[in-house]
Chains A and B, each alone.
Chain A
Amino acid sequence: MPIVLDEVAFDYPDGTPAVESVSLHVKDGERVAIVGQNGAGKTTTVKLMNGLLKPRSGAVTVDGESTANRTTAMMAQTVGYVFQNPDDQIFTSSVQSELEYMPKYLRWEEVRRDERVARAVALCGLEQHLETNPNDLPIAIRKFIAIGAILVGECRYIILDEPTAGLDVPGLRLLNSLIDHLQTEGIAVVTITHDMRFVTESFDRVVAMAGGTVVADGPCEEVFADDDVLKRARIRRPEVAQLVRDLGIPTTALRLDDIVHKIP
């Protein structure tokens, strides 16, 4: 059962529209990247998906149920949202206690809790840091703590808001393998990102937004082939994809590994 946004509108507190007539769906195990300029309505859209925001008009349903009828706490069990700034999310004094906070709050049995925490620790590479205060760790590791805390829950949809900002090569590698792993578990991953190389390496579908509306929604190859969409959403092709385009090489390939074979 999917997340469905049907003709959704939402206004900022000062009354200016943040998103207008947005319709899209996210299916089980899908990997969807939402792209567009700062202020395009990306964060509002994902906050509507997990019920942090309720629409002014239109409907948001998750697994067939309207988010309007469910509390934020209930929704957080289904659609996990990892904040852009990990410090908006992390609040306890050790990595271990941060990861255990939710299961303890929900009074999970110890076995279930330990199993879920161990899985999150392994997926996020946090083995070395369990006793450390998150504030003493660099931002890249704090980002994985924030992701880990969400993964402890049994969400079937995970939203990652700007996960690659500030990550280095090993961090990106870990993030990509984490996303691959979630797909094998049938968990859908939705990301907001400005990193187009990340989009084309790890995601199947792109939703391009501009001015609070969806201007394109489709497979990466299709969306990145459309100059008009790129212009309207003010986004770029990944560097090497733009290079082959500049050279007039006829291909819609986007990933570096594929492009290598297209260059004469």
Chain B
Amino acid sequence: MALATLRGVSFTYAYTNEPALRDINLTLEEGLLYAIIGPNASGKSTLCALLRGIVPLFHEGELTGSAEIRGRNLFDWDPAELSREIGYVFENPFTQISGIKETVFEEIALGLENLGMPSDEVIDRVEQVVEQLELGALVAKNPNELSGGQRQKVAFASIIAMDADVIVIDEPTSQLDPESSDAVFAIIANLKKKGKSIVLVEHKMDLVAQYADRVIALNGGRLVIEGPTSEVFTSPLLNASDIARPAVTDLAEALAKVGRPLARTPVTRAEAADLIRARMKGGPRANRSR
């Protein structure tokens, strides 16, 4: 069963004229890590919200086409049930943090309490997540006193704690330093290994190239391309849509422009290093023969 099947889906938010999504045809499989990329206002967040039913069940608007989530029409889902199946981390952690809890520990526990989990289990689960995300120093602090990056980690922790099968994350690392960004992606990769399905929006293309199985590129509410990560990043369609690519992919293109193309176009640093190393070993003759 597919995680989501969208057929001809368009969505226009209430009180707006321009559709946020236009005629999207897309199938997302379970157990993979999908990255949604694209310029601002390209429909990334709306697509995330649709997978979680926030659009159109909470943010109203006009949905046309058909959207099936885990084999069931979106409109046939009970919103509460869908919220348990699909964990959702908002783009702006300031939106997600409840503001009603006085400590980070209670904030992370809030979702679990709402599920009616026994309190000793809640405590266990929160402690695990706190350890995993190295939030020990923050547990006693008031969520409202945290920095942007710290709030983002707490918002992420709250969703991880819920242990949903599917996790949708709108820009998990937008306010994090490189080390924390890597740590978040390592945790996401680990969740995938445990069989979770992950869909995330990310602007840091070097991280996307390293971790995503497949990439969904959007522009102006339309699907530009969906496919395996390296195929998407090396597609001419991306460049034409002003969508960022990994730095090493840009470098490969710059090398091609000055007449020294690599044997193929890399998307990760490791791939780029291998390709350049092979050329360095081969010497000028290997270069010429290409």
Check A75 for interface membership: any CB of B closer than 8 A.
no
Partner of B273, one of A38, A168, A194, A243: A243
Q: Which residue of B lies closest to A84 (CB)?
A: B148
Known contacts A139-B91, A234-B177, A240-B248: A39-B147 contact under CB 8 Å: yes
Chain B residues 231 to 253 lying within 8 A of chain A, measured CB to CB, are: 242-244, 246-248, 250-251
Q: Which chain B residues lie closer than 8 Å to A257 at the CB level?
A: 254
Q: Which chain B residues lie closer than 8 Å to A84 at the CB level?
A: 148, 175
A260–B148 CB distance below 8 A = no
Cα-based distance from A202 to B251 in the complex (angstroms): 18
0 or 1 for each of B263-289: is its CB under 8 Å from A? (1 = yes): 000000100110011011000000000
Q: Which chain B residues lie closer than 8 Å to A138 at the CB level?
A: 40-41
Check A118 for interface membership: any CB of B closer than 8 A.
no
Check A166 for interface membership: any CB of B closer than 8 A.
yes
Partner of B244, one of A37, A139, A168, A243: A168
A239–B40 CB distance below 8 A = no
Chain A residues 206 to 264 lying within 8 A of chain B, measured CB to CB, are: 234-236, 238-240, 242-243, 246-247, 256-257, 259-261, 263-264
Known contacts A38-B180, A85-B94, A264-B279: A166-B171 contact under CB 8 Å: yes
CB distance from B183 to the nearest CB of A (A): 11
* Interface residues of B, count at CB 8 A: 42
Cα-based distance from A239 to B272 in the complex (angstroms): 11
A260–B258 CB distance below 8 A = yes
Check B260 for interface membership: any CB of A closer than 8 A.
yes
B38–A168 CB distance below 8 A = yes
Chain B residues 159 to 207 lying within 8 A of chain A, measured CB to CB, are: 171, 174-181, 203, 206
Q: Which chain B residues lie closer than 8 Å to A155 at the CB level?
A: none
Cα-based distance from A43 to B41 in the complex (angstroms): 28
A239–B280 CB distance below 8 A = no
CB distance from B154 to the nearest CB of A (A): 12
A168–B40 CB distance below 8 A = yes
A170–B39 CB distance below 8 A = yes
Q: Which residue of B lies closest to A235 (CB)?
A: B178
A256–B250 CB distance below 8 A = yes
Most chain A CB within 10 A, of B91, B150, B175, B277, is at B175
* Interface residues of A, count at CB 8 A: 40
CB distance from B202 to the nearest CB of A (A): 11
Q: Which chain B residues lie closer than 8 Å to A264 at the CB level?
A: 276, 279-280
Given contacts A84-B148, A234-B178, 15 further A-B contacts (CB under 8 A): A38-B149, A39-B149, A84-B175, A87-B92, A166-B91, A168-B203, A169-B243, A194-B177, A238-B247, A240-B250, A243-B248, A247-B276, A256-B250, A260-B254, A263-B251
Sample of 21 A–B contacts (CB below 8 Å): A38-B177, A39-B150, A84-B175, A87-B92, A166-B40, A166-B171, A167-B203, A168-B39, A169-B244, A170-B242, A234-B178, A239-B206, A240-B247, A243-B248, A246-B273, A247-B276, A256-B251, A260-B255, A263-B251, A263-B276, A264-B280
> A interface vs B, CB < 8 Å?
36-39, 43, 84-85, 87, 138-141, 162, 165-171, 194, 196-197, 234-236, 238-240, 242-243, 246-247, 256-257, 259-261, 263-264
> B interface vs A, CB < 8 Å?
38-42, 91-92, 94, 147-150, 171, 174-181, 203, 206, 242-244, 246-248, 250-251, 254-255, 258, 260, 269, 272-273, 276-277, 279-280
Closest 10 CB pairs of A and B: A38-B149, A239-B247, A168-B39, A140-B40, A260-B254, A138-B41, A165-B174, A37-B177, A168-B40, A169-B242
